[in-house]
Structure 1
Amino acid sequence: EKTNGNFISEAHYCSTPQCWGLLFSSGRKANGPGTEDPSVTLFREYLRLKTVHPEPDYGTSETLLPCPVCPGRVVAIITWVGSRPELKSVVLNSHTDVVPVYEEHWKHDPFAAVKDEHGNIYGRGSQDMKCVTIQYIEAIRRLKAAGKRFSRTIHLTFFPDEEVGGHKGMETFVKHPEFQKLNIGFALDEGLANPTNAYTVFYGERNPWWITVRCPGSPGHGSRFVENTAAEKLRRVINSFLEFREKEKHRLNTNECFTLGDVTTVNMTMVKGGVAYNVIPAEMDVSFDLRIPPTVNLQEFEVKIKAWCKEAGEDVTYDFAQKHMDQNFTSTEESDPWWHAFSSTCKAMNVTLKKEIFPAATDSRFIREEGLPAIGFSPMNLTPILLHDHNEYLNEQVFLRGIQVYERLVPALASVPPLSGEE
């Protein structure tokens, strides 16, 4: 399917949100005195689209193909074919959904994309990660306008539901035949802001484990000392998990080389049980969100959880709502051609890189699980980390600088010489 205008050479496979016509339009108005950069205007218009959970308005275009991945979900893949399309491709990935907001805590409407007198643009998704989506698009637009073309094919991919685990997005898509057709060699995905002058780059992620522990017990009247109650078991379970949490927190605070991605975080997120004040419940459940570094032996860690449940009392069990076992790293050795292209380009721009394990989870984990290298990178320095926070914002100058960064990075990655097996 061919796109309109001069932006992208080929739409490899599309089922598009309502915003794609806006994003891929070829008309660009020149700036006049006091006018806003068109890239910033586009970014702000994208922020106003309410792709917010629990009911994100992804929308569809009836003129393009229906999405065969998950009904009701929208995936878009836009392809710029390289001069040597048989070579492995470069993927620029982003997600279109955003997390909910507590509007009463925002100084501006979180979906109005208000820009203040300092150039700070407020909006849900301004950091996570609608900024990167537009930066990709604007960088590609500028490269094509300059008549550039590279040996490797470039895919821009736009995925739904990353913020709710990616089950109806990237997790499903990597098992789809269309994923194999992309012939991916390397992928870029989202990162985090950095309050310093450096840019943070992520070469791996912690594994999210969402676990519910079920504590059955003896029921009875609320006036009695009933033995072996669910609440007693629940208390022991909570103590075991939170004592481990304190140990990991201590490790982080006492090792200056550690970042959040180097330790396991544990947070109790839900407690369920009980029917009335005067009835001792027959079961109580507690849920935890764990994020485990890829350096941890995951099998041994689950043995630890089993021990905590056994110590809590008879018949205490657990199950997982989410359990990722990916321990793949993307190489950051200078001998690796993909990393060398990335890092040397940053060095040429006098960009300082800070390498870390991503503390949360992104769609990159599904790409790495397929054995493919992926780097998490959002060019936002001198910026507080505000993803999922109240008053999320990004300064327009930081945003514009990010476009320039991708204008340099994309050609470098798309020009990596043929690797072993590609000749």
Structure 2
Amino acid sequence: MKKIFLPVFAILLLLIGLLLARTFTFPFKKIAAATGTPAQITINDSSISRLSGGLKIPTISSGDSLKFNDVPFDTFNEYIKKNYPFIYQHAESYTINGHALVFKLKGTDPNLQPLLFLSHLDVVPPGGAGIKNTETDLFQPKDKPIPPVSKIAKEWDYGPFSGAVVNGRIYGRGTMDMKSMLFALMEALQNTMKSGYQPKRDIYLAFGFDEEVGGELGAARIADYFGRQRLRFDAIYDEGGFILSKGSVEGIDANVALIGCAEKGFLSLKIKVKGLGGHSSMPPSETAVGKAAAIMQKLEQNPMKPTITPLIQDFFKNVGGSMSFPSRLAIANDWLLQPLLISQLSKNHTTNALIRTTTALTMMKGSDAPNVLSSEVEFVANFRLLPGNTIQEVKEHVAKLAQGYDIEISEVDNSREASIVSPSDTKGYKIMETSLNRIYPNLLITPYLTVGGTDAIKYQALSNNVYRFMPIKINNSEQQSMHSINEYISIENYTKMIRYFEFIMQNYDKDGGK
């Protein structure tokens, strides 16, 4: 017995030593020291006023073309033209599909691929308790329209379309998503032009008007136009990740900038389950509702298989140095401890979304009366696809779990595959790092997987380098205000965002931006 125990004990000690050695020598990314001259941030009252005025125009997007209201979008576009006459006078500008805006500042070298910066004009409805933020509810009764803005406004400290500037903040629907970034880009382009700087490569700004409902009429049409012009971009920048303040990301003890190098796909499946209808006084042994419930339970209890993709491996390599020792141990030794790491990540809904195609049961419809058995029950399952999974694989997964039931499956909304994964060793990525280090010292910067959808995916055929990032530093409560009541952006964040984009525009071709 002793002869067996000693070799096993020795092997165990060697294994522990190996695990510890790999953990202490693993090349986790360190927070970079600030380089170069820190950026000077000056608050400009005029730029704040222009954003405030733009927030007062209710450019609410609608998934129903019959409900789309052109007037606010026409008003908004006229507002942009009136407030940025210098850009309209000295840069190219045109409108696509009635409302989408495109601007082009010509560079000195036509052989260089241009840069493209994205945003969108539209916003979700004002929202609030019990108020739907989109108009795509498949089961919303037609006789129960969304309450008027005047009623919803009572839930806001300042009106959703007030553009109020109070205590260092700018309030209104669109301050976080996405008018602040649109105006920051316009300010940055105007400041760049007025400074006399002329870039080497062309700089494009492109603003869709229906991102919140799929982007098919705005971004998709712009991308199609660029494609027909045979344009290829060196880098494309859109919304996506943020700078999350220290403590906002569970387990990461640092301010961390999450640069989206890919985004998850989107698939909503309406699953119609058939059963025996009739009066509730004589129910069958299993109703359509019961069958639907059984399928839903299977979907929730049997999600798609988790995978730590190369992008997420890179993410953990970057942030691991600011995590606890057990987390660093698991990351550094994933060759052995990956099952444990996946188990831990799966327990938290935020990190779970990074390692698997998620399943969310979102909507359900059955009988319209309490004493009537419905012969059909419909429910919607929304899937956010991990890069590497496909829509077809998800459909096969659902069909397998629902085997034996009489069902019909159909797609709803705008399905899309997961995006390509953009590299983080390009000039387009590194200039983001340099700009951030100038404006936000002591910042951890990492590639990331954007779990929500953006207009950027419409443009991925036009560049290999598509980055999703909004350069503002926020905490959890500020992040939660997006698409909710009391949405706001701090004046400091807005001002720094302008400077960030100015830096990229003016330094992209200056020794790699350094």
Which bracket does the TM-score occupy, shorter chain normalised?
0.7 to 0.9
Partner residue in 1 for 2:56: 48
Deviation by residue 1:192-222 (Cα, 9 ceiling, x = unmatched): 4434144331111011111111112222222
Q: 2:276 & 2:418 partners in 1: Cα distance?
A: 39
**Given the alignment, which residue of 300, 306, 309 partners 2:393?**
300
> Does the 8 A contact of 2:159 with 2:172 survive in 1?
yes
1:396 pairs with 2:404 = no
1:368 pairs with 2:393 = no
Q: 2:116 & 2:122 partners in 1: Cα distance?
A: 19
Q: 1:373 & 1:274 partners in 2: Cα distance?
A: 49
Partner residue in 1 for 2:430: 340
- Aligned positions of 1:200-239 closer than 5 A: 200-226=258-284, 229-239=287-297
**Equivalences, count:** 377
Q: How far is the alpha carbon of 1:341 from its aligned partner?
A: 3.2
Q: 1:256 & 1:238 partners in 2: Cα distance?
A: 18
Q: How far is the alpha carbon of 1:317 from its aligned partner?
A: 3.0
Deviation by residue 1:357-376 (Cα, 9 ceiling, x = unmatched): 11100011121255542111
1:291 pairs with 2:393 = no
**Given the alignment, which residue of 171, 180, 186 partners 1:137?**
186
Partner residue in 2 for 1:74: 99
Instruction: For structure 1, list consecutive stretches of 5 or more residues without a partner in the other structure.
Output: 1-30, 418-423
The amino acid across from 2:186 in the alignment is: I
The amino acid across from 2:162 in the alignment is: A
Change in Cα spacing, 1:78 to 1:210, as seen in structure 2 (3 Å) is same
1:240 pairs with 2:248 = no
Partner residue in 2 for 1:190: 239
Q: 2:448 & 2:374 partners in 1: Cα distance?
A: 45
Partner residue in 2 for 1:84: 109
The amino acid across from 1:239 in the alignment is: Q
Q: 1:40 & 1:363 partners in 2: Cα distance?
A: 25
SS in 2 for 1:296: coil
SS in 2 for 1:232: helix
SS in 1 for 2:501: helix
Q: 2:349 & 2:446 partners in 1: Cα distance?
A: 14
**Given the alignment, which residue of 153, 161, 176 partners 1:111?**
161
Deviation by residue 1:74-105 (Cα, 9 ceiling, x = unmatched): 11111101111242110111001001123343
Change in Cα spacing, 1:317 to 1:133, as seen in structure 2 (3 Å) is closer
Partner residue in 2 for 1:310: 403
Larger radius of gyration between Structure 1 and Structure 2: 2
Change in Cα spacing, 1:410 to 1:66, as seen in structure 2 (3 Å) is closer
> Does the 8 A contact of 1:123 with 1:392 survive in 2?
yes
> Does the 8 A contact of 1:135 with 1:402 survive in 2?
yes
Q: 1:120 & 1:285 partners in 2: Cα distance?
A: 44
Structure with larger RCO (C-alpha < 8 A, sep 6+): 2
Q: 1:261 & 1:416 partners in 2: Cα distance?
A: 34
Change in Cα spacing, 1:251 to 1:231, as seen in structure 2 (3 Å) is farther
Q: How far is the alpha carbon of 1:169 from its aligned partner?
A: 1.7
Q: 1:250 & 1:115 partners in 2: Cα distance?
A: 45
> Does the 8 A contact of 2:346 with 2:352 survive in 1?
no
The amino acid across from 2:428 in the alignment is: W
Change in Cα spacing, 1:229 to 1:171, as seen in structure 2 (3 Å) is farther
SS in 2 for 1:184: coil
Change in Cα spacing, 1:259 to 1:125, as seen in structure 2 (3 Å) is farther
Q: 1:346 & 1:275 partners in 2: Cα distance?
A: 55
SS in 2 for 1:399: helix
> Does the 8 A contact of 2:160 with 2:486 survive in 1?
yes
Q: 1:180 & 1:252 partners in 2: Cα distance?
A: 44
Q: 2:414 & 2:237 partners in 1: Cα distance?
A: 24
SS in 2 for 1:276: coil
Deviation by residue 1:50-75 (Cα, 9 ceiling, x = unmatched): 11233452116799999664xxx511
Q: 2:511 & 2:231 partners in 1: Cα distance?
A: 17
Q: 1:379 & 1:80 partners in 2: Cα distance?
A: 22
Q: How far is the alpha carbon of 1:331 from its aligned partner?
A: 0.6
Q: 1:316 & 1:337 partners in 2: Cα distance?
A: 48
Change in Cα spacing, 1:46 to 1:368, as seen in structure 2 (3 Å) is same
Partner residue in 1 for 2:473: 381
The amino acid across from 1:59 in the alignment is: D
Deviation by residue 1:369-412 (Cα, 9 ceiling, x = unmatched): 55542111111114431321221111101111111111111223
1:277 pairs with 2:370 = yes
Change in Cα spacing, 1:415 to 1:150, as seen in structure 2 (3 Å) is farther
Change in Cα spacing, 1:174 to 1:144, as seen in structure 2 (3 Å) is closer
Q: 1:179 & 1:388 partners in 2: Cα distance?
A: 35
Q: 1:137 & 1:319 partners in 2: Cα distance?
A: 38
> Does the 8 A contact of 2:156 with 2:485 survive in 1?
yes
The amino acid across from 2:164 in the alignment is: V
- Larger helix fraction of residues: 2
Change in Cα spacing, 1:141 to 1:259, as seen in structure 2 (3 Å) is farther
The amino acid across from 1:164 in the alignment is: V
Q: 1:247 & 1:45 partners in 2: Cα distance?
A: 48
> Does the 8 A contact of 2:102 with 2:205 survive in 1?
yes
> Does the 8 A contact of 2:419 with 2:457 survive in 1?
no
Q: 2:509 & 2:466 partners in 1: Cα distance?
A: 14
Q: Percent identity?
A: 22
> Does the 8 A contact of 1:80 with 1:154 survive in 2?
yes
Which TM-score applies when normalising by structure 1?
0.79
1:58 pairs with 2:73 = yes
Partner residue in 2 for 1:127: 176
Instruction: For structure 2, list consecutive stretches of 5 or more residues without a partner in the other structure.
Output: 1-41, 63-67, 82-87, 129-151, 246-254, 307-341
Q: How far is the alpha carbon of 1:155 from its aligned partner?
A: 0.7
Partner residue in 1 for 2:119: 94
Q: 1:164 & 1:331 partners in 2: Cα distance?
A: 28
Q: How far is the alpha carbon of 1:293 from its aligned partner?
A: 1.9
**Given the alignment, which residue of 423, 430, 442 partners 1:331?**
423
SS in 2 for 1:194: strand
Q: 2:196 & 2:102 partners in 1: Cα distance?
A: 22
SS in 2 for 1:121: strand
Change in Cα spacing, 1:352 to 1:140, as seen in structure 2 (3 Å) is farther
Q: How far is the alpha carbon of 1:290 from its aligned partner?
A: 1.9
Deviation by residue 1:237-273 (Cα, 9 ceiling, x = unmatched): 2112222469989753547994744443332222123
Change in Cα spacing, 1:259 to 1:138, as seen in structure 2 (3 Å) is farther
